[in-house]
A and B are shown apart, each in its own frame.
Chain A
Amino acid sequence: MIEIKDIYKTFGENEVLKGISANFQQGKNNLIIGGSGSGKTTLLKCIVGLHEPTKGDVFFDSENFTNMDFEQRVPIRTNIGMLFQNSALFDSMTVEENIMFPLNLFTTQTTAEKLDRANFCLERVNLEGKNKLYPAELSGGMKKRVGIARAISMQPKYLFVDEPNSGLDPKTSILIDDLINELTEEYNMTTVIVTHDMNSVMGIGEHVIFLHNGEKWWEGSNKEIAKTDNQELNDFVFASKFMQAAKVKL
Protein backbone atom coordinates (compact mmCIF):
# COMPACT_ATOMS: atom_id res chain seq x y z
CA MET A 1 0.00 0.00 0.00
CA ILE A 2 1.11 3.56 -0.70
CA GLU A 3 0.06 6.38 1.57
CA ILE A 4 0.55 10.07 0.83
CA LYS A 5 0.09 12.62 3.59
CA ASP A 6 -0.51 16.32 3.10
CA ILE A 7 1.56 16.73 -0.08
CA TYR A 8 2.37 20.26 -1.18
CA LYS A 9 4.46 21.13 -4.21
CA THR A 10 5.44 24.62 -5.23
CA PHE A 11 7.36 25.76 -8.31
CA GLY A 12 8.52 29.32 -7.57
CA GLU A 13 5.35 31.23 -6.74
CA ASN A 14 3.08 28.61 -8.31
CA GLU A 15 1.54 26.21 -5.78
CA VAL A 16 0.70 23.12 -7.87
CA LEU A 17 -0.32 20.68 -5.13
CA LYS A 18 -2.17 21.87 -2.04
CA GLY A 19 -2.17 19.35 0.77
CA ILE A 20 -3.17 16.10 -0.90
CA SER A 21 -3.58 12.98 1.23
CA ALA A 22 -4.68 9.56 -0.01
CA ASN A 23 -4.18 5.82 0.33
CA PHE A 24 -3.49 3.70 -2.75
CA GLN A 25 -4.53 0.15 -2.06
CA GLN A 26 -2.67 -3.03 -3.00
CA GLY A 27 -4.18 -5.19 -5.75
CA LYS A 28 -6.30 -2.32 -7.04
CA ASN A 29 -6.16 0.16 -9.90
CA ASN A 30 -5.92 3.57 -8.23
CA LEU A 31 -6.69 6.32 -10.72
CA ILE A 32 -5.73 9.97 -10.40
CA ILE A 33 -7.91 12.04 -12.72
CA GLY A 34 -8.35 15.72 -13.34
CA GLY A 35 -8.19 18.37 -16.02
CA SER A 36 -5.04 19.66 -17.67
CA GLY A 37 -2.88 21.54 -15.15
CA SER A 38 -4.70 20.08 -12.15
CA GLY A 39 -1.46 18.56 -10.80
CA LYS A 40 -1.92 14.86 -11.66
CA THR A 41 1.50 14.25 -13.18
CA THR A 42 3.21 16.42 -10.55
CA LEU A 43 1.58 14.31 -7.83
CA LEU A 44 2.72 11.10 -9.53
CA LYS A 45 6.28 12.48 -9.81
CA CYS A 46 6.22 13.45 -6.12
CA ILE A 47 5.15 9.91 -5.19
CA VAL A 48 7.90 8.19 -7.18
CA GLY A 49 10.57 10.71 -6.11
CA LEU A 50 11.18 12.47 -9.43
CA HIS A 51 10.05 15.66 -7.66
CA GLU A 52 10.65 16.27 -3.98
CA PRO A 53 7.43 17.48 -2.29
CA THR A 54 7.71 20.96 -0.74
CA LYS A 55 5.89 19.53 2.28
CA GLY A 56 4.32 16.19 3.18
CA ASP A 57 5.30 12.53 3.20
CA VAL A 58 5.02 9.48 0.97
CA PHE A 59 4.95 6.02 2.57
CA PHE A 60 5.58 2.78 0.69
CA ASP A 61 4.26 0.01 2.97
CA SER A 62 4.78 2.25 6.02
CA GLU A 63 8.36 3.21 5.05
CA ASN A 64 8.78 6.97 4.73
CA PHE A 65 10.17 7.37 1.19
CA THR A 66 10.42 11.17 1.41
CA ASN A 67 13.03 11.13 4.17
CA MET A 68 15.30 8.60 2.46
CA ASP A 69 18.50 9.46 0.57
CA PHE A 70 19.37 7.99 -2.85
CA GLU A 71 20.99 4.81 -1.49
CA GLN A 72 18.13 4.10 0.91
CA ARG A 73 15.59 4.52 -1.88
CA VAL A 74 17.21 1.91 -4.16
CA PRO A 75 15.52 -1.17 -2.55
CA ILE A 76 12.11 0.51 -2.92
CA ARG A 77 12.88 1.72 -6.43
CA THR A 78 13.72 -1.81 -7.56
CA ASN A 79 10.17 -2.69 -6.55
CA ILE A 80 8.73 0.10 -8.70
CA GLY A 81 7.72 -0.30 -12.33
CA MET A 82 6.68 2.71 -14.32
CA LEU A 83 5.11 3.24 -17.71
CA PHE A 84 5.72 6.76 -19.00
CA GLN A 85 3.43 8.81 -21.20
CA ASN A 86 5.79 8.46 -24.18
CA SER A 87 7.00 5.03 -23.03
CA ALA A 88 10.58 6.35 -22.43
CA LEU A 89 12.20 3.29 -23.97
CA PHE A 90 15.98 3.53 -24.38
CA ASP A 91 16.45 4.38 -28.07
CA SER A 92 19.89 2.82 -28.35
CA MET A 93 18.70 -0.59 -27.07
CA THR A 94 16.56 -3.28 -28.66
CA VAL A 95 13.24 -4.33 -27.12
CA GLU A 96 14.96 -7.27 -25.44
CA GLU A 97 17.81 -5.12 -24.08
CA ASN A 98 15.29 -2.60 -22.73
CA ILE A 99 13.51 -5.33 -20.77
CA MET A 100 16.75 -6.92 -19.58
CA PHE A 101 18.28 -3.59 -18.51
CA PRO A 102 17.03 -3.55 -14.89
CA LEU A 103 17.80 -7.28 -14.62
CA ASN A 104 21.39 -6.64 -15.74
CA LEU A 105 21.88 -3.98 -13.09
CA PHE A 106 20.05 -5.35 -10.10
CA THR A 107 20.05 -9.15 -10.32
CA THR A 108 22.66 -11.86 -10.42
CA GLN A 109 20.71 -13.92 -12.99
CA THR A 110 22.58 -15.63 -15.82
CA THR A 111 22.10 -14.37 -19.38
CA ALA A 112 19.85 -17.37 -20.14
CA GLU A 113 17.65 -16.60 -17.14
CA LYS A 114 17.40 -12.94 -18.10
CA LEU A 115 16.48 -13.89 -21.66
CA ASP A 116 13.80 -16.25 -20.35
CA ARG A 117 12.34 -13.46 -18.24
CA ALA A 118 12.43 -11.01 -21.16
CA ASN A 119 10.67 -13.54 -23.40
CA PHE A 120 8.08 -14.22 -20.70
CA CYS A 121 7.38 -10.49 -20.28
CA LEU A 122 7.10 -10.05 -24.05
CA GLU A 123 4.68 -12.96 -24.30
CA ARG A 124 2.68 -11.47 -21.45
CA VAL A 125 2.15 -8.27 -23.44
CA ASN A 126 1.57 -10.19 -26.71
CA LEU A 127 4.79 -9.10 -28.38
CA GLU A 128 6.59 -12.42 -28.68
CA GLY A 129 9.27 -12.45 -31.38
CA LYS A 130 9.81 -8.68 -31.34
CA ASN A 131 13.01 -9.02 -29.28
CA LYS A 132 15.45 -7.55 -31.78
CA LEU A 133 13.43 -4.52 -32.89
CA TYR A 134 14.46 -1.01 -31.85
CA PRO A 135 11.92 1.44 -30.34
CA ALA A 136 11.95 3.49 -33.56
CA GLU A 137 10.56 0.44 -35.39
CA LEU A 138 7.53 0.09 -33.09
CA SER A 139 4.05 1.65 -33.23
CA GLY A 140 2.74 3.75 -30.32
CA GLY A 141 0.73 0.85 -28.89
CA MET A 142 3.67 -1.55 -29.19
CA LYS A 143 5.94 0.95 -27.40
CA LYS A 144 3.44 1.13 -24.54
CA ARG A 145 3.38 -2.66 -24.32
CA VAL A 146 7.19 -2.86 -24.31
CA GLY A 147 7.12 -0.17 -21.60
CA ILE A 148 4.78 -2.38 -19.58
CA ALA A 149 6.99 -5.44 -20.20
CA ARG A 150 10.04 -3.48 -18.93
CA ALA A 151 8.04 -2.23 -15.94
CA ILE A 152 7.08 -5.76 -14.85
CA SER A 153 10.45 -7.39 -15.60
CA MET A 154 11.55 -7.06 -11.96
CA GLN A 155 8.16 -8.29 -10.69
CA PRO A 156 7.43 -4.98 -8.96
CA LYS A 157 5.17 -4.38 -5.98
CA TYR A 158 4.16 -0.94 -7.23
CA LEU A 159 3.22 0.04 -10.77
CA PHE A 160 2.91 3.68 -11.85
CA VAL A 161 1.36 4.58 -15.17
CA ASP A 162 1.31 8.07 -16.65
CA GLU A 163 -1.39 8.66 -19.29
CA PRO A 164 -1.43 5.09 -20.68
CA ASN A 165 -3.94 5.94 -23.42
CA SER A 166 -2.45 9.13 -24.82
CA GLY A 167 -1.94 8.92 -28.57
CA LEU A 168 -3.63 5.52 -28.90
CA ASP A 169 -6.73 4.53 -30.83
CA PRO A 170 -9.76 3.48 -28.71
CA LYS A 171 -9.27 -0.25 -29.35
CA THR A 172 -5.59 -0.22 -28.38
CA SER A 173 -6.45 1.95 -25.35
CA ILE A 174 -8.83 -0.71 -24.10
CA LEU A 175 -6.21 -3.42 -24.70
CA ILE A 176 -3.66 -1.46 -22.64
CA ASP A 177 -6.19 -0.85 -19.85
CA ASP A 178 -7.12 -4.53 -19.76
CA LEU A 179 -3.45 -5.51 -19.68
CA ILE A 180 -2.72 -3.18 -16.74
CA ASN A 181 -5.81 -4.49 -14.96
CA GLU A 182 -4.80 -8.14 -15.47
CA LEU A 183 -1.21 -7.51 -14.34
CA THR A 184 -2.37 -5.65 -11.23
CA GLU A 185 -4.40 -8.70 -10.22
CA GLU A 186 -1.75 -11.21 -11.30
CA TYR A 187 1.12 -9.59 -9.34
CA ASN A 188 -1.12 -8.12 -6.61
CA MET A 189 0.52 -4.75 -7.25
CA THR A 190 -0.39 -1.33 -5.98
CA THR A 191 -1.13 0.37 -9.29
CA VAL A 192 -1.42 4.14 -9.62
CA ILE A 193 -2.64 5.45 -12.98
CA VAL A 194 -2.77 9.08 -14.04
CA THR A 195 -5.34 9.55 -16.79
CA HIS A 196 -8.00 11.79 -18.21
CA ASP A 197 -9.45 9.04 -20.38
CA MET A 198 -13.03 8.47 -19.29
CA ASN A 199 -13.14 4.96 -20.77
CA SER A 200 -10.30 4.02 -18.40
CA VAL A 201 -12.07 5.64 -15.47
CA MET A 202 -15.31 3.79 -16.11
CA GLY A 203 -13.55 0.56 -17.12
CA ILE A 204 -10.84 -0.01 -14.51
CA GLY A 205 -11.28 2.78 -11.94
CA GLU A 206 -11.67 0.76 -8.76
CA HIS A 207 -10.43 3.70 -6.71
CA VAL A 208 -10.52 7.18 -8.21
CA ILE A 209 -9.13 10.47 -6.93
CA PHE A 210 -10.24 13.63 -8.70
CA LEU A 211 -7.89 16.61 -8.54
CA HIS A 212 -9.02 20.15 -9.19
CA ASN A 213 -6.63 23.13 -9.03
CA GLY A 214 -4.10 21.10 -7.06
CA GLU A 215 -6.55 19.92 -4.42
CA LYS A 216 -8.24 16.57 -3.88
CA TRP A 217 -11.81 17.35 -4.84
CA TRP A 218 -13.41 13.92 -4.77
CA GLU A 219 -12.55 10.28 -3.97
CA GLY A 220 -14.51 7.10 -4.63
CA SER A 221 -14.99 4.30 -7.15
CA ASN A 222 -16.10 4.41 -10.79
CA LYS A 223 -19.48 3.09 -9.72
CA GLU A 224 -19.98 6.11 -7.47
CA ILE A 225 -19.04 8.69 -10.08
CA ALA A 226 -22.43 8.70 -11.81
CA LYS A 227 -24.20 9.33 -8.51
CA THR A 228 -22.00 12.14 -7.26
CA ASP A 229 -23.32 15.67 -6.96
CA ASN A 230 -19.82 17.15 -7.13
CA GLN A 231 -20.24 19.78 -9.85
CA GLU A 232 -16.58 19.95 -10.98
CA LEU A 233 -16.33 16.16 -11.23
CA ASN A 234 -19.58 15.98 -13.17
CA ASP A 235 -18.42 18.71 -15.54
CA PHE A 236 -15.13 16.87 -16.06
CA VAL A 237 -16.36 13.29 -16.43
CA PHE A 238 -19.53 13.98 -18.36
CA ALA A 239 -18.17 16.72 -20.61
CA SER A 240 -18.82 14.77 -23.82
CA LYS A 241 -22.28 14.02 -25.22
CA PHE A 242 -21.39 10.34 -25.32
CA MET A 243 -20.66 10.31 -21.58
CA GLN A 244 -23.83 12.30 -20.87
CA ALA A 245 -25.82 9.65 -22.73
CA ALA A 246 -24.01 6.93 -20.81
CA LYS A 247 -24.80 8.66 -17.52
CA VAL A 248 -28.53 8.54 -18.31
CA LYS A 249 -28.26 4.78 -18.79
CA LEU A 250 -26.28 4.42 -15.56
Chain B
Amino acid sequence: MFYSLGKYLLLLRLSFRKPEKFSVYWSEVMREMVSIGIGSLGIIATISLFIGAATTIQVAFQLSSPLAPMSIAGKIARDSTILEFSPTISALVLAGRVGSSIASQIGTMRVTEQIDALEIMGVNAPGYLISPKIIASMTMIPLLVIVSITLGITGGYIACVFSGDITPGDYIAGVRDGFDGLTIQVALVKAIVFGFLISSICAYQGFYTSGGALEVGQSSTKGVVYSCVMILFADLVITRVML
Protein backbone atom coordinates (compact mmCIF):
# COMPACT_ATOMS: atom_id res chain seq x y z
CA MET B 1 0.00 0.00 0.00
CA PHE B 2 2.81 2.42 0.91
CA TYR B 3 4.61 1.46 -2.31
CA SER B 4 1.50 2.39 -4.33
CA LEU B 5 1.03 5.61 -2.38
CA GLY B 6 4.65 6.59 -3.05
CA LYS B 7 4.29 5.78 -6.74
CA TYR B 8 1.06 7.83 -6.87
CA LEU B 9 2.75 10.84 -5.24
CA LEU B 10 5.76 10.59 -7.57
CA LEU B 11 3.43 10.46 -10.57
CA LEU B 12 1.66 13.58 -9.32
CA ARG B 13 5.01 15.36 -8.97
CA LEU B 14 5.94 14.41 -12.53
CA SER B 15 2.53 15.56 -13.74
CA PHE B 16 3.12 19.10 -12.55
CA ARG B 17 6.60 19.54 -14.01
CA LYS B 18 7.11 22.64 -16.18
CA PRO B 19 5.31 22.10 -19.53
CA GLU B 20 7.34 21.88 -22.74
CA LYS B 21 5.05 24.44 -24.35
CA PHE B 22 2.32 26.18 -22.37
CA SER B 23 0.01 26.76 -25.36
CA VAL B 24 -0.16 23.04 -26.21
CA TYR B 25 -1.01 22.15 -22.61
CA TRP B 26 -3.57 24.97 -22.45
CA SER B 27 -5.45 23.62 -25.47
CA GLU B 28 -5.45 20.17 -23.83
CA VAL B 29 -6.94 21.70 -20.65
CA MET B 30 -9.68 23.35 -22.74
CA ARG B 31 -10.42 20.09 -24.56
CA GLU B 32 -10.68 18.20 -21.28
CA MET B 33 -12.90 20.91 -19.79
CA VAL B 34 -15.37 20.50 -22.64
CA SER B 35 -15.23 16.72 -22.37
CA ILE B 36 -15.69 16.63 -18.59
CA GLY B 37 -17.96 19.67 -18.16
CA ILE B 38 -20.25 19.75 -21.17
CA GLY B 39 -20.07 15.98 -21.58
CA SER B 40 -21.36 15.35 -18.05
CA LEU B 41 -24.03 18.05 -17.99
CA GLY B 42 -26.87 15.75 -19.14
CA ILE B 43 -26.35 13.02 -16.57
CA ILE B 44 -25.80 15.53 -13.74
CA ALA B 45 -28.97 17.47 -14.66
CA THR B 46 -31.02 14.28 -14.76
CA ILE B 47 -29.87 12.82 -11.43
CA SER B 48 -30.08 16.21 -9.68
CA LEU B 49 -33.70 16.82 -10.68
CA PHE B 50 -34.79 13.36 -9.52
CA ILE B 51 -32.77 13.40 -6.28
CA GLY B 52 -34.08 16.89 -5.38
CA ALA B 53 -37.66 15.80 -6.03
CA ALA B 54 -37.34 12.50 -4.13
CA THR B 55 -35.63 14.17 -1.15
CA THR B 56 -38.40 16.77 -0.83
CA ILE B 57 -41.16 14.16 -0.97
CA GLN B 58 -39.43 11.97 1.62
CA VAL B 59 -38.78 14.84 4.02
CA ALA B 60 -42.41 15.95 3.69
CA PHE B 61 -43.54 12.38 4.40
CA GLN B 62 -41.45 12.24 7.59
CA LEU B 63 -42.76 15.58 8.87
CA SER B 64 -45.91 14.06 10.29
CA SER B 65 -46.10 16.29 13.39
CA PRO B 66 -48.76 19.00 13.09
CA LEU B 67 -46.52 21.22 15.24
CA ALA B 68 -43.73 21.38 12.67
CA PRO B 69 -44.32 23.87 9.87
CA MET B 70 -44.18 22.26 6.40
CA SER B 71 -41.69 24.91 5.26
CA ILE B 72 -39.05 22.96 7.22
CA ALA B 73 -39.20 20.35 4.46
CA GLY B 74 -37.83 22.95 2.03
CA LYS B 75 -35.08 23.90 4.44
CA ILE B 76 -33.99 20.29 5.05
CA ALA B 77 -34.15 19.45 1.35
CA ARG B 78 -32.05 22.53 0.53
CA ASP B 79 -29.32 21.78 3.07
CA SER B 80 -29.23 18.07 2.21
CA THR B 81 -28.93 18.91 -1.46
CA ILE B 82 -26.20 21.51 -0.98
CA LEU B 83 -24.14 19.66 1.61
CA GLU B 84 -24.44 16.05 0.58
CA PHE B 85 -26.50 15.02 -2.40
CA SER B 86 -25.17 17.41 -5.03
CA PRO B 87 -21.44 17.18 -4.32
CA THR B 88 -21.21 13.55 -3.22
CA ILE B 89 -23.70 11.80 -5.48
CA SER B 90 -22.55 13.89 -8.46
CA ALA B 91 -18.95 12.91 -7.66
CA LEU B 92 -19.83 9.22 -7.42
CA VAL B 93 -21.62 9.41 -10.77
CA LEU B 94 -18.71 11.35 -12.28
CA ALA B 95 -16.24 8.76 -10.98
CA GLY B 96 -18.11 6.31 -13.19
CA ARG B 97 -18.39 8.56 -16.21
CA VAL B 98 -15.22 10.69 -16.16
CA GLY B 99 -12.95 8.45 -14.07
CA SER B 100 -13.47 5.30 -16.11
CA SER B 101 -12.92 7.30 -19.29
CA ILE B 102 -9.62 8.74 -17.97
CA ALA B 103 -8.33 5.34 -16.79
CA SER B 104 -9.26 3.52 -19.97
CA GLN B 105 -7.97 6.29 -22.25
CA ILE B 106 -4.57 6.45 -20.55
CA GLY B 107 -4.47 2.66 -20.10
CA THR B 108 -5.10 2.11 -23.81
CA MET B 109 -2.38 4.60 -24.67
CA ARG B 110 -0.03 2.66 -22.41
CA VAL B 111 -0.70 -0.78 -23.90
CA THR B 112 -0.59 0.51 -27.49
CA GLU B 113 2.82 2.18 -26.86
CA GLN B 114 1.44 5.70 -27.41
CA ILE B 115 2.89 6.74 -24.03
CA ASP B 116 6.25 5.27 -25.07
CA ALA B 117 5.99 7.33 -28.28
CA LEU B 118 5.47 10.51 -26.20
CA GLU B 119 8.48 9.69 -24.01
CA ILE B 120 10.71 8.96 -27.01
CA MET B 121 9.84 12.41 -28.39
CA GLY B 122 11.02 13.98 -25.13
CA VAL B 123 7.52 14.83 -23.92
CA ASN B 124 6.84 14.57 -20.18
CA ALA B 125 4.04 12.01 -20.63
CA PRO B 126 2.51 12.34 -17.12
CA GLY B 127 2.47 16.12 -17.51
CA TYR B 128 0.91 16.09 -20.96
CA LEU B 129 -1.66 13.39 -20.21
CA ILE B 130 -2.52 13.83 -16.54
CA SER B 131 -2.17 17.49 -15.49
CA PRO B 132 -4.77 18.82 -18.02
CA LYS B 133 -7.26 16.21 -16.77
CA ILE B 134 -6.68 17.12 -13.11
CA ILE B 135 -6.96 20.86 -13.79
CA ALA B 136 -10.10 20.37 -15.90
CA SER B 137 -11.73 18.13 -13.26
CA MET B 138 -10.94 20.52 -10.41
CA THR B 139 -12.45 23.37 -12.44
CA MET B 140 -15.48 21.73 -14.03
CA ILE B 141 -16.72 19.48 -11.21
CA PRO B 142 -17.42 22.48 -8.89
CA LEU B 143 -19.34 24.13 -11.74
CA LEU B 144 -21.30 20.92 -12.29
CA VAL B 145 -22.04 20.81 -8.55
CA ILE B 146 -23.43 24.37 -8.71
CA VAL B 147 -25.67 23.31 -11.59
CA SER B 148 -26.63 20.20 -9.61
CA ILE B 149 -27.60 22.26 -6.51
CA THR B 150 -29.74 24.60 -8.63
CA LEU B 151 -31.48 21.73 -10.41
CA GLY B 152 -31.84 19.71 -7.17
CA ILE B 153 -33.72 22.55 -5.51
CA THR B 154 -35.74 23.06 -8.69
CA GLY B 155 -36.57 19.34 -8.68
CA GLY B 156 -37.90 19.72 -5.12
CA TYR B 157 -40.13 22.58 -6.28
CA ILE B 158 -41.47 20.53 -9.21
CA ALA B 159 -42.23 17.67 -6.78
CA CYS B 160 -44.21 20.09 -4.58
CA VAL B 161 -46.21 21.32 -7.57
CA PHE B 162 -47.11 17.82 -8.78
CA SER B 163 -47.35 15.82 -5.54
CA GLY B 164 -49.17 18.34 -3.37
CA ASP B 165 -47.33 17.01 -0.26
CA ILE B 166 -46.19 20.57 0.49
CA THR B 167 -47.41 23.75 -1.09
CA PRO B 168 -44.88 25.43 -3.41
CA GLY B 169 -45.16 28.53 -1.18
CA ASP B 170 -44.11 26.56 1.94
CA TYR B 171 -41.25 24.97 0.00
CA ILE B 172 -39.93 28.32 -1.25
CA ALA B 173 -40.26 29.83 2.22
CA GLY B 174 -38.25 26.91 3.64
CA VAL B 175 -35.58 27.16 0.95
CA ARG B 176 -35.13 30.88 1.72
CA ASP B 177 -35.23 30.49 5.51
CA GLY B 178 -31.96 30.73 7.45
CA PHE B 179 -29.64 30.21 4.49
CA ASP B 180 -25.97 29.95 5.56
CA GLY B 181 -23.32 30.67 2.89
CA LEU B 182 -20.95 28.24 4.60
CA THR B 183 -22.91 25.32 3.16
CA ILE B 184 -22.04 26.47 -0.37
CA GLN B 185 -18.38 26.82 0.62
CA VAL B 186 -18.41 23.27 1.99
CA ALA B 187 -20.03 21.98 -1.21
CA LEU B 188 -17.42 23.70 -3.39
CA VAL B 189 -14.48 22.48 -1.29
CA LYS B 190 -15.88 18.96 -1.55
CA ALA B 191 -16.31 19.33 -5.32
CA ILE B 192 -12.72 20.53 -5.81
CA VAL B 193 -11.30 17.71 -3.67
CA PHE B 194 -13.51 15.10 -5.35
CA GLY B 195 -12.45 16.39 -8.78
CA PHE B 196 -8.81 15.95 -7.83
CA LEU B 197 -9.36 12.47 -6.41
CA ILE B 198 -11.34 11.17 -9.40
CA SER B 199 -8.89 12.42 -12.03
CA SER B 200 -5.64 11.62 -10.23
CA ILE B 201 -6.60 8.13 -8.97
CA CYS B 202 -8.02 7.05 -12.33
CA ALA B 203 -5.05 8.55 -14.22
CA TYR B 204 -2.68 6.66 -11.90
CA GLN B 205 -4.50 3.39 -12.54
CA GLY B 206 -4.43 3.98 -16.30
CA PHE B 207 -0.81 5.12 -16.43
CA TYR B 208 0.54 1.98 -14.79
CA THR B 209 -1.55 -0.46 -16.82
CA SER B 210 0.40 -3.31 -18.34
CA GLY B 211 -0.84 -6.06 -20.59
CA GLY B 212 -3.77 -5.72 -22.97
CA ALA B 213 -7.47 -5.02 -23.26
CA LEU B 214 -8.35 -7.10 -20.19
CA GLU B 215 -5.95 -5.13 -18.00
CA VAL B 216 -7.27 -1.82 -19.36
CA GLY B 217 -10.74 -2.86 -18.19
CA GLN B 218 -9.38 -3.88 -14.80
CA SER B 219 -7.55 -0.56 -14.40
CA SER B 220 -10.73 1.29 -15.24
CA THR B 221 -12.73 -0.69 -12.67
CA LYS B 222 -10.05 -0.23 -9.99
CA GLY B 223 -9.90 3.51 -10.72
CA VAL B 224 -13.66 3.91 -10.25
CA VAL B 225 -13.81 1.74 -7.10
CA TYR B 226 -10.84 3.44 -5.40
CA SER B 227 -12.15 6.90 -6.37
CA CYS B 228 -15.58 6.13 -4.88
CA VAL B 229 -14.05 4.91 -1.60
CA MET B 230 -11.77 7.95 -1.39
CA ILE B 231 -14.67 10.31 -2.22
CA LEU B 232 -16.70 8.95 0.71
CA PHE B 233 -13.69 9.13 3.04
CA ALA B 234 -12.89 12.72 1.96
CA ASP B 235 -16.59 13.59 2.34
CA LEU B 236 -16.47 12.54 5.98
CA VAL B 237 -13.22 14.40 6.67
CA ILE B 238 -14.34 17.67 5.02
CA THR B 239 -17.74 17.56 6.74
CA ARG B 240 -16.08 17.00 10.12
CA VAL B 241 -13.49 19.73 9.59
CA MET B 242 -15.71 22.44 8.07
CA LEU B 243 -19.01 22.04 9.92
Contacts and interface: CB of A to CB of B under 8 A. Distances in A.
Given A88-B112, A105-B20, A82 B122 contact: no
Given A84-B113, A85-B113, A86-B112, A105 B21 contact: yes
Interface string B43-81: 000000000000000000000000000000000000000
A92 to B, nearest CB: 8
B243 interface: no
Interface string A30-73: 00000000000000000011100000000000000000001001
B20 A48 contact: no
Contacts of B122: 73-75, 77-78, 80, 106
B120 interface: yes
B110 to A, nearest CB: 11
B117 A50 contact: no
Contacts of A48: 120
A169 interface: no
B1 interface: no
A106 B120 contact: no
A78 B117 contact: no
Output the residue of B109, B119, B121, B123 with the most chain A CB within 10 A: B121
Given A88-B114, A90-B114, A91-B114, A50 B20 contact: no
A104 interface: yes
A86 B21 contact: no
Interface in B95-141: 108-109, 112-114, 116-117, 119-124
A85 B120 CA distance: 14
B117 A104 contact: no
Contacts of B109: 90-91
Contacts of A84: 113, 116-117
Contacts of B124: 70
A22 to B, nearest CB: 20
Interface residues of B, number: 16
Contacts of B114: 88-91
Interface of A is mostly: mixed
B24 interface: yes
Contact of A77 (B21, B113, B120): B120
A19 interface: no
A220 interface: no
A136 to B, nearest CB: 12
Interface of B is mostly: helix
Output the residue of B116, B117, B123, B124 with the most chain A CB within 10 A: B117
A50 B24 contact: no
A105 B123 contact: yes
A78 B121 contact: yes
A106 B117 contact: no
A102 interface: yes
A102 B123 CA distance: 9
Contact of A104 (B21, B108, B112, B113): B21
B55 to A, nearest CB: 39
Nearest to A81: B120
Contacts of B108: 91
18 contacts: A70-B124, A77-B120, A77-B121, A84-B113, A84-B117, A85-B113, A88-B114, A88-B117, A89-B114, A90-B114, A90-B117, A91-B109, A91-B114, A104-B21, A105-B21, A105-B121, A105-B123, A106-B121
Interface of B: 20-21, 24, 108-109, 112-114, 116-117, 119-124
Given A70-B124, A90-B114, 12 more contacts: A73-B122, A80-B120, A80-B122, A82-B120, A84-B113, A86-B113, A88-B116, A89-B114, A91-B108, A91-B109, A104-B21, A104-B24
A-B pairs, top 7 by smallest CB distance, nearest first, are A77-B122, A88-B113, A88-B117, A74-B122, A82-B120, A84-B113, A105-B20
